Amino acid sequence: MAVMVNNKDAKNSMDTSKYVRYTSEQVEALERVYSECPKPSSLRRQQLIRECPMLSNIEPKQIKVWFQNRRCREKQRKEASRLQTVNRKLTAMNKLLMEENDRLQKQVSQLVYENGYMRQQLQNASVAATDTSCESVVSSGQHQHNPTPQHPPRDASPAGLLSIAEETLAEFLSKAKGAAVDWVQMPGMKPGPDSIGIVAISNTCNGVAARACGLVGLDPTKVAEILKERPSWLRDCRCLDVLTAFPTGNGGTIELLYMQTYAATTLASARDFWTLRYTTVLEDGSLVVCERSLSGTQGGPSIPPVQHFVRAEMLPSGYLIQPCEGGGSIIRIVDHMDLEPWSVPEVLRPLYESSTVLAQKMTIAALRRLRQIAQEATGEVVFGWGRQPAVLRTFSQRLSRGFNEAVNGFTDDGWSLMGSDGVEDVTIAINSSPNKHFGSQVNASNGLTTLGGGILCAKASMLLQNVPPALLVRFLREHRSEWADSNIDAYSAAALKASPYSVPGSRAGGFSGSQVILPLAHTVEHEEFLEVIKLEGHGLTQEEAVLSRDMFLLQLCSGIDENAAGACAELVFAPIDESFADDAPLLPSGFRIIPLESRTDGSGGPNRTLDLASALEVGSAGTRTSGDSGANSNLRSVLTIAFQFTYESHLRENVAAMARQYVRTVVASVQRVAMALAPSRLSSHVGPRPPPGTPEALTLARWICQSYRLHIGVDLFRADCDASESVLKLLWHHSDAIMCCSVKSLPVFTFANQAGLDMLETTLVALQDISLDKILDENGRKSFFTDYGQIIQQGYAYLPAGICLSSMGRPASYDRAIAWKVLNDEDSTHCIVFMFVNWSFM
């Protein structure tokens, strides 16, 4: 390694065009320091020269240049590696797109041929209508009809099962390569180097079908191993048992599987499958895992129906995995099923007849799991709280599985139904064997094993109209105080303690309702979040001091992307203690919202969530416009709620009554929020109605605009401010956060525009519960109280850059803030307005 000498003091004795060559020992010493500190300070470089005699003939400036060059080479190496990875992905994606393009070209050619053939047939039919030779044409057509081929009888012998396996392989490969089924691109899934893959669905085949092609950074054997372990990535899979397995003569493996899947709601039965799975390697080196149901038509062994399950059929499906040049695999996935929609209520049949729903729940879920594991292996995914990725994945699976168990309430898990109170809206199920229900979760150290009773689940399902599931779940996640009861949360948390506790009633104590979201992990595409919710408050009464001051929930949130067609939205949570052990017992509760029809319009962006002032006011009719009532009028979804509680035997009836009433209260709250979020209740033309006690929104907007011009000398907006309605619209959609604050000893917010509500992560209804001192940091509070007199006397003040805290505890930075006094028509001080310029979450 050589470095050019660039020392002005020595230029007479040394030619600057020469290089200094480092010895291998010198390079080794410098590399050791670089591995510890890539950017050492001047003092560290001087210390290095003193500690290493071999570097004594090197100038400190030359050492500095060496480290600069070394960092530059490292950066170039990483960039070159990244570009090579991107190039491999683009090459593989280009290959997939070319194959897909060829398939579509063939499909177009076939359609053109069939169109021409049909035209010719119509012309021949019109001629044959007057021709006596039509009889011969018909007989000729009948003669050319090919009868349906009959499969030879097959039994449960290895030879018979191999015959079924080879037939399954041929049908699967035909579907995987684009033939046999008419595939159309799934809405919202655009192929590209950063996309999950190319996803297609079919609505013309028997049952429901989805197909995906993608590139993953794992070798084919690892891919097959992950996908075969279906319960680890398919959240709806309850169990997968391999009943029989034997090798075939061609090096493959045949397995007979029995699989059970959960029902998504309380209104339908669960499904089970009896299938044959065939794993083999093709001549080109591709690995294939294909599967199909065994039934009377295919022959082979059979098993009797299982109580409480509807036997569904898996048509030839599977995975075609090809090794990719340069590493990784190209994978093609086909899922094709008949879910027996006749067995569910008519309102739920779209859920079982939608290929889009199958693609989201199974096909895309498989690709996402592969991509997640590949990125975890490369260290690209960062997780919080020092937890290993496998541990966090286990937490997510346990939350989802526990919620599914609560919704389904299988008798073999120990669940049984309790009698109702005469109203069938809420179902109560009890499990008097918590050890059986929790399985390996339960150990002798937690309080669940000390119970003399068991677990109680209150659940309900309801139909929602005209509200996007993602929008509703996002609101429930961000505004827990709108629907949750702090005393019930405290009761649930008490189950983790060994001390006894009582059924909550109406009491003055409880948590304050403020929550802080502490992120733990998220999937690569941010479609699922694992987080800890910290509920802050003063706890319960002193005699019930079994709880700490703060309460914690482990929460799983998924499906909050409104553009994901057919995606299910979930919010599942379970109380945890402060230790947050890896084997902590979880008792999940939560919400699941499933769309019954795919969304086809693009209205209703995420910013609509927080504009709820008029719709959430009690007795308000809201404001409607002629154009928004039909935007999502056909959007229907089914909401399933399940809340689990522990109980002691002598308190079972009390806990059941409490749980039943609580679920009814939650249902009423969710209905109220859903009505507020419905597009027909929102208007994009008129601003929100202000909370009670403030002037009308139009008047307040005019006062804000006039006062800004009066004090600062310029207009707040560049538009004409004469029309009050346009002023309000400009104020509401202004990019900077604008908030009105009362003039009191403890200022509270009374109004905010959309950006202000986004920054505070609240609604206009909850805005009045937030005081100014809660959102400003220490420097912001000092600056405000210092300049408060100037604002009152001079009318305005400029505040320096700082940090605010949202209602959920998230820090948001801003470049600067302007505060000015708002005068009403009588020139009296009405409020103070803050405008936070260029704010963003940190």
Decide: 643 and 666 in contact? Cβ < 8 Å.
Answer: yes
For residue 509, is pLDDT > 80?
Answer: no
Q: Which amino acid, 319?
A: Y
What is the DSSP secondary-structure string of 98-156?
HHHHHHHHHHHHHHHHHHHHHHHHHHHHHHHTT-TTHHHHHHHHHHHPPPPPPPPP--S
Estimate to the nearest angstrom the gap between the alpha carbon of 608 and the chain centroid: 19
DSSP single-letter state for residue 827: S
Q: Is the pLDDT of residue 189 over 70?
A: no
The model's confidence at residue 607, banded by pLDDT at 50, 70 and 90, is: very low
- Extract the tokens encoding 728: 């309000």
- Segment 314-342 shows an average pLDDT of 90
Q: Kindly tell me if the per-residue pLDDT of 321 is higher than 60.
A: yes
Which pair of tokens denotes residue 450?
A: 């000390």
- Percentage of the chain lying above the pLDDT 70 cut: 76
Q: What pLDDT is stored for residue 380 in this prediction?
A: 58
Fold match between domain 158-378 and domain 389-434+453-498+514-538+548-598+634-677: yes
Q: Which residue has the tokens 């090579």?
A: 84
Q: Which of 494, 491, 465, 522 is nearest to 677 (CA)?
A: 465
Which tens digits make up the pLDDT trace of 353-399? 989 999 999 999 999 999 888 888 776 555 555 667 788 888 999 99
Q: Is the pLDDT assigned to residue 270 strictly greater than 90? A: yes
- The encoded tokens of residue 464 equal 């929602």
Residue 827 φ/ψ region, left for φ over 0, alpha for ψ in the -120 to 50 degree band, beta for the rest = left
Averaged pLDDT, 618-643: 56
> What is the fold of 158-378?
Alpha-D-Glucose-1,6-Bisphosphate; Chain A, domain 4 (3.30.530)
Q: Give the lowest-confidence range in 149-163, 231-245, 505-519, 574-588.
A: 505-519
604 pLDDT higher than 70? no
Q: At what angle do helices 42-51 and 60-128 cross, to 10 degrees?
A: 120
pLDDT tier for residue 87 given thresholds of 50, 70 and 90: confident
Query: Which candidate, 36, 3, 37, 40, places its Cα nearest to that of 18?
Result: 3
186, HSE (Cβ side, Cα atoms, 13 Å): 28
Contact 593, 637 (CB under 8 A): yes
Instruction: Give the range with max mean pLDDT: 298-302, 536-540, 554-558, 616-620.
Output: 554-558
Instruction: Enumerate residues 6+ apart whose C-beta is below 8 A from 830.
Output: 695, 703, 743, 822, 823, 824
Q: What CATH architecture is 389-434+453-498+514-538+548-598+634-677?
A: 2-Layer Sandwich (3.30)
Between 183 and 172, the higher pLDDT residue:
172
Q: What is the 3-state secondary structure (H, E, C) of 636-675?
A: EEEEEEEEEEEECHHHHHHHHHHHHHHHHHHHHHHHHHHH
The pLDDT of residue 808 is: 66
Cα 842 to Cα 840: distance, rounded to the nearest angstrom: 6
Examine the pLDDT at 622 and tell me if it is beyond 50. Answer: no
Question: Which CATH topology does 695-841 take?
Answer: Beta-Lactamase (3.30.450)
d(C-alpha 247, C-alpha 224), whole Å: 17
Phi, psi of 368 (to 5 degrees): -65, -40
Q: What angle do CA 245, 246, 247 make, to 5 degrees?
A: 135
Q: Give the pLDDT confidence score for residue 125 in this predicted structure.
A: 75
Query: How far apart (Å, rounded) are the C-alpha atoms in residues 104 and 182?
Result: 10
Instruction: Give the pLDDT confidence of 773-830 residue by residue, as tens digits.
Output: 777 777 777 777 778 878 888 888 888 888 888 776 678 888 888 888 888 888 888 8
What does the pLDDT average to over 606-629?
A: 35
What residues have CB less than 8 Å from 836, skipping those under 6 apart?
736, 737, 739, 756, 759, 804, 812, 814, 817
Compute the distance between CA of residue 382 and CA of residue 543 in angstroms, rounded to an integer. Answer: 42
Q: What is the pLDDT of residue 825?
A: 84
Determine the Cα–Cα distance for residues 740 and 832; give it in Å rounded to an integer.
6
d(CA 486, CA 547): 13
CA dihedral 746, 750, 752, 758 (to 10 degrees): 70
pLDDT for the residue 433: 76
> How many beta carbons lie within 10 A of that of residue 841, not counting itself?
12
- If we measure between CA atoms, which residue out of 549, 544, 582 comes closest to residue 446? 582
**Residue 499 pLDDT > 50, yes or no?**
no
Instruction: Report the alpha-carbon distance of residue 263 to residue 269 in Å, rounded.
Output: 6
DSSP string, 179-229: -SS--EEPTT---STTSS-EEEEESSSSSEEEEEEEEESS-HHHHHHHHH-
Spatial separation of the C-alpha atoms in residues 646 and 530, rounded to whole Å? 24
**Mean of the per-residue pLDDT values for the chain?**
77
Reading the block at residue 92, the tokens are: 């593989």
pLDDT at residue 291 greater than cutoff 50 = yes
DSSP H helices in 423-485: 434-438, 469-478
Query: 619 pLDDT band (50/70/90 cuts)?
Result: very low
The predicted-structure confidence for 61-75, as pLDDT tens digits, reads as follows 888 888 888 889 888
Does residue 146 surpass a pLDDT of 60? no
- Range among 82-86, 247-251, 605-609 rated most confident: 247-251
Q: Where are the domains of the chain?
A: 158-378, 389-434+453-498+514-538+548-598+634-677, 695-841
Q: Which amino acid is at 358?
A: L
pLDDT of residue 644: 93
Tokens of 8: 């002005």
With a threshold of 0.85, does the pTM exceed it? Answer: no
The per-residue DSSP string of 559-609 comes to ---TTSTT--EEEEEEEE-TT--TT-----EEEEEEESS--------GGGG
> What integer is the mean pLDDT of 144-148?
42
More confident residue, 620 or 132: 132
Pairing of strands 198-202, 208-216: antiparallel
- What is the rounded distance in angstroms from the CA atom of residue 223 to the CA atom of residue 237? 19
User: What's the whole-number mean pLDDT along residues 668-696?
Assistant: 58
